[in-house]
Structure 1
Amino acid sequence: MAGQPALTVTADAGIWKDDEILECCAMVPEAPNVATFSFVSPSGNVFRYLPGQFITLELPVPGGTVWRTYTISSSPSRPLTLAVTVKAQEGSIGTRWMLEHLRPGMKIKATGPAGIFTIQPREQKKYLFISAGSGITPSLSMTTYLYDRGAGTDIVFLHCAKRPSDIICRQRLEMMAARVPELKLYFLVEEDDPYLVWTGLRGRLNQLMIGLIAGDYMERDVYCCGPEPFMNAVREMLIGLGYDMDRYSQETFVAPVKTEEQLPENDDVILDEAAEASVTFATSEITASCSETDTLLAVARANGIVIPSGCTFGVCGTCKTRKISGDVHMVHNGGISEDDIEAGYVLACCSHPIGAVELDA
């Protein structure tokens, strides 16, 4: 097409540096308020980066220039173009400008690439990618890279969205999964789209789903990206399942970091088997010593106290018990409401005592 940059690599092609401008070569709508923008180097240079890294774009919005950071959604295995997939949130300025004004042929400045949320290119591992919303972009880049490499593509890809129409780059992922049996795709939605059939998973992510979707999750490196509350919940689930958190990596798509020193401290609760705790059952007038790794239900049973229970995995809510005092660490799977938690109730099957705890049981 006339006026479009030629996508060819010459023998003397160099590596794109951020002192060179980017030229938009394509804009593809992906979902409501979501689009993928692809860029080329006008000089014919190629792009070199690691899958999962980000780039910062200089956007000439009305009222003054703004700088916005986006994860690169393309793969370094396809070096002719560099792409970002952006989603306009409520109050977005830069991203909204891109959706409404940035088109093929326009040129913008950029800096990068940078970031440490990435896989090691030459390693062959088993992966579990967990994402929500536009946090899908680093997983998309990593998956495309592993797909193109053609070896070691053992991936369980789990993405959570509000509704099926909000799943970003769904067709691209399904195309890859159709050709590589080792790539397993799972989409989890909270709501259906009107007049469209959805036969996939529904609800919110919980520990049970992780075990059902990736039964060998203990053998996989986990990469997670999404809103902060989502990633906090995923960490809690994995810790509760006994996962080795040294193999867990995450990045917020709001403010990715460039170096390990910039990583935020995660206030995770790690239960210690050697830490002493105690549970007092007020109604039964029994106090029992235990470890932080014991559940309240296990302590009750060991001392002849009957707390009704069903699933023993935080789903059914049968073991809901009122906590009179003390702190517990509870990772449930939907079997208790936020109102009950605020009222002091816990699920005995998935709650662990931190220090001294007293129950109405």
Structure 2
Amino acid sequence: MVENWYTGIVTKIVDATHNTRRFWIKIPELERFDFKPGQFVTLDLPIHEKKNKRWRSYSIASHPDGSNEIELVIVLLEGGAGSTYLFNEIREGSELTLRGPLGVFVLPETLETEIFFICTGTGIAPFRAMSHYLKNHAIPHNGIHLLFGSRYEKDLLYADEMRQLEQSFPGFHYIPTLSRQEDWNGRKGYVHSIYEEMLQDKRPANFYLCGWKNMIDEAKQRILAMGYDRKQIHQELYG
């Protein structure tokens, strides 16, 4: 199957935190950009002669709404050629070459167990898309827990939006946890202790992990050690 490349126009850019930015991209040649929550797009950036060194993939942070516009949330990586280009060269009105949607990090048709979304940093992107989608389509579920690990409160992405979602979406729980901030009234430490504590009774659950390799590796190890099966762990690796 030949993947279509499209020309996207950047319609809006907003700084989310000191090192993350939200980019809205419209694909004028499509009437609607259809994707499943959790999928990603690949950008072809003019940063190298070799194709495979120019491609950068980002999870779609917005939920499918029938339009031809999507949102990406991108962190500026020290020494990262792709994110440096996006932060320094891309403005509202800039064009980006992209293809997609791609990826199989998506929810099953029916949610039969509790779901644990576990993420750090921009790894929240697919879970933001999934959570809004589940709410908007009133999809039956048995509890959704979004565990978002960060160092400081200033690094939390979509925090106000997730708190509002928690108020308006029954059974959805937003649990941010900070590892470095002293004057924080919420959960402290790392995300791992939270799901271990919540699942002491080993009740049925499915785990969706998104973020950097270290966090995912540790989560997988701990979840398996708790007695869950590999089939209950789904992951999207960044970097």
TM-score interval, smaller chain:
0.7 to 0.9
Deviation at 1:172, TM superposition (A): 2.1
Is 2:231 the counterpart of 1:243?
A: no
Q: Write the mapping of 1:93-108 to structure 2, written as runs, cut at 5 A.
A: 93-108=81-96
Give the residue type in structure 1 aligned to 2:163. Answer: E
Is 2:16 the counterpart of 1:30?
A: yes
Q: CA RMSD in A?
A: 2.3
Q: Give yes or no for contact 2:148–2:191 (8 Å, CA) kept in 1.
A: no
Q: Write the mapping of 1:67-216 to structure 2, written as runs, cut at 5 A.
A: 67-120=55-108, 122-125=109-112, 126-153=114-141, 154-192=143-181, 197-207=183-193, 209-213=194-198
Deviation at 1:62, TM superposition (A): 9.0
Give the residue type in structure 2 aligned to 1:226. Answer: G
Q: Among 17, 20, 35, which residue is 1:49 paired with?
A: 35
Deviation at 1:21, TM superposition (A): 1.0
Q: Higher mean Cα deviation, 56-65 or 42-51? A: 56-65
- The percent of aligned pairs where both chains have the same amino acid is 23
Calculate the TM-score normalised by the size of structure 1. Answer: 0.59
> For this pair of structures, how many residues does the alignment match?
233
Q: Give yes or no for contact 1:218–1:243 (8 Å, CA) kept in 2.
A: no
Describe the SS at the equivalent of 1:100: helix
Deviation at 1:34, TM superposition (A): 0.4
Deviation at 1:191, TM superposition (A): 1.1
Q: Among 216, 220, 224, which residue is 1:231 paired with?
A: 216
Q: Give yes or no for contact 1:156–1:214 (8 Å, CA) kept in 2.
A: no
Q: Within 1, Cα distance between the matches of 2:202 and 2:233?
A: 11
Deviation at 1:234, TM superposition (A): 0.7
Return 5+ residue gaps in structure 2 as ranges. none
Deviations 1:250-307 (A, max 9, x none): 12022xxxxxxxxxxxxxxxxxxxxxxxxxxxxxxxxxxxxxxxxxxxxxxxxxxxxx
Q: Which has the larger radius of gyration?
A: 1
Q: Give yes or no for contact 2:202–2:226 (8 Å, CA) kept in 1.
A: no
Deviation at 1:204, TM superposition (A): 2.3
Calculate the TM-score normalised by the size of structure 2. Answer: 0.87
Q: Within 2, Cα distance between the matches of 1:178 and 1:61?
A: 43
Q: Within 2, Cα distance between the matches of 1:45 and 1:99?
A: 28
Q: Higher mean Cα deviation, 126-135 or 63-72? A: 63-72
Q: Give yes or no for contact 1:127–1:220 (8 Å, CA) kept in 2.
A: yes
Describe the SS at the equivalent of 2:98: strand
Q: Within 1, Cα distance between the matches of 2:201 and 2:169?
A: 19
Give the residue type in structure 2 aligned to 1:248. Answer: I
State the structure with bigger RCO (CA 8 A, min sep 6), 1 or 2.
2
Deviation at 1:114, TM superposition (A): 0.8
Give the number of the structure whose residues are more often helix, by fraction. 2
Describe the SS at the equivalent of 1:252: strand
Q: Give yes or no for contact 2:6–2:99 (8 Å, CA) kept in 1.
A: no
Q: Within 2, Cα distance between the matches of 1:57 and 1:104?
A: 16
What residue is the counterpart of 1:11 in the other structure?
none
